């Protein structure tokens, strides 16, 4: 795979001009194709193929159709017999300059990955290999199981995808975050561009409401665990940022009572195993890393309701069973078995109960957009979301909008509604994924446990070494560094090297010089993170403040317009006034009513559309004014 895909993603950028929808990001690419190749006729599939070959983007034909229709309004492009033809000279959109700047970002990221890999378990030898690894990483950030999206990702599917590539790039991203802010920004340019490109996968998104008013998002138990910080700080921050954004967009975030009960059981189970050498799982791993004890976890159990309330999550009673709105639980359970491997059967029962509850809450409705669905379950499990989606295709209540969506799908779609209102969403989502990718899979841990048991029985490692390898969080981290998550790379030599590194790490704790260096590095990381948070927080406050002002302005103007329209209607049924001022008002009302009626007849303009246009223009003006006053670039990556 060439660098064309990454370069194109780096060229996509948040635009401060409000009112432009997602497909406007695609316009300059298509215009450049028409200028360079002058296809005759201009068809959807021809443009689609050029987008793939020239810019490395996999865009559905329906999205191309919408953009061509828009271009025909302002470019010499005429539709004849169902196809478009170029009828004049088209101005060059000047993509070359943007491409040159984007290339610099890509070269920095690619060369950095090649340098980083020299000290990793897998060396990246060529730029093409580096690009393939980065693309494999980016394809994990897709939007599955939502019918509106024609594809899951705008990146062409890699011919061969290695899990080790994803782990390697995750390690690289985490290293950049703490040591190389400039190259980390270049990396985030690509990640943000990919999230913007996801919007190009659906030609209907430009009609979607801009808020989630009236929609309740129910978090499943694993997301509640993340929000409480029990799976690492990066995952907690990502979940917190998502909740804040959804609530700013008018949505409600809640959890079912049975999910709260499941959370209680999960924490009690983790508390029982946190001190055991056989204890596993993300909660146990994170508790050991933080030095939490059994008592600490049990104390958290006693404060669950308070913790969830402080996190902005409402607790809702689980809907009772209503025969008319129940799902076929046996059929859905079979769908789940094809997608999800449950260690605990009770977890499957809770998931089925959650999906059943969403169907009850959507009773008598058949939503066509997420923004109008009333209720939806949010999960971190893509297999669970896929099972619910496939099952839902047989039911009107969830055919267009699945009962379950992934947290990244929601984060991406919500961020697209207000990218300047949550500038850190791409970074928090990326870091949360990278952190998770660096955790060993259950399959790798099983093989690891079997291998160290064998080595102890053979006398190659001592009982103390065995205990250290089983319970040390450092051992699991080193295991991922040495294997990149590949089970085939796990050998007795790998375990011996893991043990050597762990014991070396323990003995080096007494090395004051090394300790000072580590402390200085951690302080630098903290300072960089603090500065990023400050910048993102400033942009976030500016955006929402300007959005409130723009909303007030639009309602004031719309109220005035509504007043004149009412007066115009009254004048139409004979209202008159001898007072000079009110006579002028009646005349103006009649005139405005006539203009609005004509605009609606000819252009299809509505009062609601006009209100949104005024709001967007006011928001753009306020944003540019605030940015100029403070001296901040709102379009830059956070």
The CATH number covering residue 16 comes to 1.10.10.10
Q: pLDDT tens for residues 281-298? A: 888 888 888 888 889 999
The Cβ of residue 627 has, within 10 Å, a number of other Cβ atoms equal to 18
Give the pairing of strands 216-219 and 77-80. Answer: unpaired
Classify 557 as helix, strand or coil: helix
Q: Which residues contact 327 (CB under 8 A, 6 or more apart)?
A: 352, 355, 356, 359, 391, 395
C-alpha–C-alpha distance, residues 580 and 587, integer Å: 11
- Where residue 633 falls (left for φ over 0; alpha for ψ -120 to 50; beta otherwise) is beta
Confidence class for position 562, pLDDT limits 50, 70, 90:
confident
Instruction: Tell me if the bond preceding 41 is cis, omega within 30° of 0.
Output: yes
Which of 486, 506, 526 corresponds to the end of one domain? 506
Q: What is the pLDDT of residue 117?
A: 92
Q: What is the CATH number of the domain that holds 386?
A: 3.40.50.1010
Confidence class for position 4, pLDDT limits 50, 70, 90:
confident
* Residue-wise DSSP of 579-613: SHHHHHHHHHHHHHHHHHHHHHHHH---HHHHHHH
Classify 219 as helix, strand or coil: strand
Residue with the larger pLDDT of the pair 224 and 580: 224
Do 113 and 151 fall into the same domain? yes
Of the ranges 8-17, 319-328, 356-365, 525-534, which is most confident?
A: 356-365
CA distances from 119 to 123, 132, 440, 521 (A): 8, 19, 20, 19
CA distances from 310 to 148, 259, 306, 380, 560 (A): 34, 17, 6, 21, 41
Classify 161 as helix, strand or coil: coil
Question: CA-CA-CA-CA torsion for 170, 172, 178, 180, nearest 10 degrees?
Answer: -140
Do 103 and 91 fall into the same domain? no
Do 412 and 283 fall into the same domain? yes
Residue 30 lies in a domain: yes
Do 13 and 143 fall into the same domain? no
Q: What is the pLDDT of residue 506?
A: 61
Of 467, 221, 483, the residue nearest 347 (C-alpha): 221
Residue with the larger pLDDT of the pair 331 and 638: 331
Q: Which residues contact 580 (CB under 8 A, 6 or more apart)?
A: none
The number of domains in the chain is 5
Helix runs in 394-459, H state only: 407-417, 425-437, 442-457
Residue 363 lies in a domain: yes
Do 480 and 544 fall into the same domain? no
Go through 43-59 and write b for each residue having 16 or more CB atoms within 10 A of its CB, e for each that does not: bbebbbebbeebbbbbb
Do 333 and 354 fall into the same domain? yes
C-alpha–C-alpha distance, residues 26 and 149, integer Å: 16
Q: What is the pLDDT of residue 441?
A: 86
Which of 95, 126, 153 corresponds to the end of one domain? 95
Which tokens sit at 264? 């209680």
Which tokens sit at 179? 């040591």
Average pLDDT over residues 493-512: 74
Residue for token digits 């449950």?
342
CA distances from 614 to 42, 427, 607 (A): 35, 32, 10
The Cβ of residue 624 has, within 10 Å, a number of other Cβ atoms equal to 14
Residue 125 lies in a domain: yes
CA distances from 83 to 180, 215, 289 (A): 50, 40, 62
Q: What is the pLDDT of residue 159?
A: 58
C-alpha–C-alpha distance, residues 388 and 373, integer Å: 15
Residue 16 lies in domain? 4-95
Residue 520 lies in a domain: no
Residue 514 lies in a domain: no
Q: What is the pLDDT of residue 396?
A: 55
Residue 431 lies in a domain: no
Average pLDDT over residues 80-89: 86
Q: pLDDT tens for residues 433-472? A: 888 888 888 888 889 888 898 988 988 888 888 888 888 8
Do 74 and 191 fall into the same domain? no
The H or E element spanning position 255 is strand 252-256
Do 272 and 294 fall into the same domain? yes
Of 90, 86, 83, 92, the residue nearest 64 (C-alpha): 83
Asked whether the whole model's pTM tops 0.85, one would answer no
C-alpha–C-alpha distance, residues 525 and 515, integer Å: 15
Do 493 and 621 fall into the same domain? no
Q: What percent of the chain is modeled with pLDDT above 70?
A: 87
C-alpha–C-alpha distance, residues 139 and 114, integer Å: 20
Question: What are φ and ψ of residue 611, in 5° steps?
Answer: -60, -45
Q: What is the pLDDT of residue 17?
A: 53
Percent of residues in the chain assigned helix, strand, coil, to nearest 5: 70, 5, 30
Q: What is the pLDDT of residue 16?
A: 55
Do 288 and 383 fall into the same domain? yes
Q: pLDDT tens for residues 328-342? A: 777 888 878 878 888
CA distances from 187 to 111, 414, 446 (A): 12, 22, 34
Question: What are φ and ψ of residue 452, in 5° steps?
Answer: -70, -30
Helix runs in 12-126, H state only: 27-37, 44-55, 61-74, 95-117
Residue with the larger pLDDT of the pair 128 and 610: 128
Do 144 and 218 fall into the same domain? no
Do 85 and 104 fall into the same domain? no
- State yes or no: pLDDT of 208 exceeds 90: no
- Where residue 498 falls (left for φ over 0; alpha for ψ -120 to 50; beta otherwise) is alpha
Which tokens sit at 426? 């791409």
The Cβ of residue 481 has, within 10 Å, a number of other Cβ atoms equal to 17
Of the ranges 98-102, 129-133, 307-311, 513-517, which is most confident?
A: 307-311
Residue 521 lies in a domain: no
Q: What percent of the chain is modeled with pLDDT above 90?
A: 23
Which of 466, 483, 506 corresponds to the end of one domain? 506
Q: What is the pLDDT of residue 230?
A: 92
End-to-end, the C-alpha distance of the chain in Å comes to 28
Q: Which of 98-102, 126-130, 167-171, 212-216 has the lowest mean pLDDT?
A: 98-102
Task: State the greatest distance between any 2 C-alpha atoms of the chain, in Å, as a whole number.
Answer: 108
C-alpha–C-alpha distance, residues 549 and 269, integer Å: 49
Residue with the larger pLDDT of the pair 448 and 200: 448
C-alpha–C-alpha distance, residues 477 and 465, integer Å: 16
Confidence class for position 266, pLDDT limits 50, 70, 90:
very high
How far is residue 185 CA from its own chain's centroid? 18
Q: Which of 95-99, 388-392, 592-596, 622-626 has the lowest mean pLDDT?
A: 592-596
Residue 530 lies in a domain: no
């Amino acid at each position: 795979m060439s660098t064309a895909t990454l370069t194109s993603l780096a060229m996509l950028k948040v635009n401060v001009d409000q009112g432009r929808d997602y497909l406007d990001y695609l316009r300059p690419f298509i215009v450049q194709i028409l200028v360079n190749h002058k296809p005759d006729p201009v068809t959807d599939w021809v443009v689609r193929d050029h987008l793939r070959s020239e810019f490395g983007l996999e865009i559905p034909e329906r999205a191309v159709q919408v953009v061509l229709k828009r271009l025909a309004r302002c470019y010499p492009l005429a539709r004849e017999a169902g196809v478009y033809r170029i009828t004049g000279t088209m101005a060059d959109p000047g993509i070359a300059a943007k491409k040159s700047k984007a290339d610099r970002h890509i070269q920095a990221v690619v060369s950095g990955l090649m340098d980083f890999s020299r000290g990793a378990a897998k060396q990246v030898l060529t730029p093409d290999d580096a690009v393939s690894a980065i693309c494999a990483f980016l394809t994990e950030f897709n939007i599955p199981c939502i019918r509106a999206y024609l594809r899951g990702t705008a990146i062409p599917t890699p011919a061969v995808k290695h899990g080790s590539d994803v782990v390697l790039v995750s390690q690289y991203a985490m290293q950049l975050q703490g040591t190389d802010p400039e190259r980390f920004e270049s990396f985030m340019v690509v990640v943000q561009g990919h999230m913007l490109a996801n919007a190009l996968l659906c030609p209907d998104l430009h009609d979607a409401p801009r808020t989630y008013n009236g929609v309740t998002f129910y978090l499943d138990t694993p997301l509640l665990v993340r929000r409480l910080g029990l799976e690492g700080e990066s995952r907690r921050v990502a979940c917190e940022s998502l909740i804040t954004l959804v609530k700013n967009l008018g949505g409600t975030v809640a959890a079912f009572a049975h999910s709260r009960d499941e959370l209680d059981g999960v924490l009690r189970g983790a508390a029982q195993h946190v001190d055991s050498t056989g204890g596993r799982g993300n909660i146990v791993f994170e508790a050991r890393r933080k030095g939490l004890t059994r008592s600490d976890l049990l104390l958290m159990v006693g404060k669950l309701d308070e913790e969830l309330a402080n996190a902005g999550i409402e607790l809702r009673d689980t809907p009772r069973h209503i025969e008319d709105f129940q799902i076929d639980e046996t059929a859905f359970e079979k769908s789940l078995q094809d997608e999800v491997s449950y260690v605990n059967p009770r977890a499957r029962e809770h998931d089925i109960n959650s999906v059943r509850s969403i169907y009850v809450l959507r009773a008598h409705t058949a939503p066509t957009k997420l923004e109008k669905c009333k209720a939806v379950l949010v999960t971190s499990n893509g297999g669970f979301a896929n099972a619910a989606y496939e099952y839902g295709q047989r039911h009107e209540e969830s055919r267009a909008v699945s009962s379950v969506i992934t947290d990244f799908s929601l984060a991406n779609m919500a961020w697209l509604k207000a990218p300047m209102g949550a500038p850190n969403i791409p970074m928090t989502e990326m870091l949360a994924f990278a952190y998770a990718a660096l955790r060993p899979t259950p399959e790798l841990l099983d093989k690891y446990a079997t291998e160290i048991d064998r080595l102890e029985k053979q006398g190659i490692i001592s009982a103390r070494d065995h205990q250290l390898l089983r319970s040390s969080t450092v051992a699991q981290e080193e295991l991922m560094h040495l294997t990149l998550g590949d089970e085939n790379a796990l050998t007795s030599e790998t375990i011996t090297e893991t043990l050597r590194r762990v014991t070396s790490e323990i003995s080096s704790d007494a090395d004051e010089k090394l300790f000072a260096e580590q402390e200085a590095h951690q302080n630098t990381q903290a300072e960089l993170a603090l500065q990023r948070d400050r910048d993102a927080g400033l942009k976030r406050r500016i955006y929402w403040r300007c959005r409130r002002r723009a909303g007030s302005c639009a309602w004031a103007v719309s109220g005035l317009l509504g007043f004149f329209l009412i007066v115009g209607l009254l004048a139409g049924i004979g209202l008159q006034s001898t007072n000079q001022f009110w006579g002028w008002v009646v005349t103006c009302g009649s005139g405005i009513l006539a203009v609005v009626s004509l605009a609606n007849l000819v252009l299809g303009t509505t009062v609601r559309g006009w209100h949104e246009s005024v709001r967007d223009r006011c928001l753009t003006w306020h944003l540019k004014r605030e940015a100029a006053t403070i001296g901040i670039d709102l379009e830059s990556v956070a």
